[in-house]
Amino acid sequence: MGVTPSEALRLMLEYIADNERLPFKQTLLSDEDAELVEIVKERLCNPKPVRVTLDEL
């Protein structure tokens, strides 16, 4: 690639400072986890009351 490891790290940190984001997208979730995250995001945007009794806890 023609760059040293320290230069590559410096370039990455410079990119992060300029753009306020990583230069790559993290994809560490499985498909099931991604579905769960979407459900959670939707429910956080549209919360509904939940009835729970002490016996159910």
Predicted local distance difference test score (pLDDT) of residue 45: 96
Predicted local distance difference test score (pLDDT) of residue 50: 86
Alpha-carbon gap, residue 26 to 31, rounded angstroms: 14
Q: Which two tokens stand for residue 16?
A: 């992060």
Reported as a pLDDT band with limits 50, 70 and 90, residue 57 is: confident
Reported as a pLDDT band with limits 50, 70 and 90, residue 30 is: confident
Predicted local distance difference test score (pLDDT) of residue 10: 96
Domain boundaries, the chain: 5-45
**Exposure of 15 by Cβ count < 10 A (0-12 exposed, 13-18 middle, 19+ buried)?**
middle
Predicted local distance difference test score (pLDDT) of residue 43: 93
**pLDDT for residue 35 is more than 80:** yes
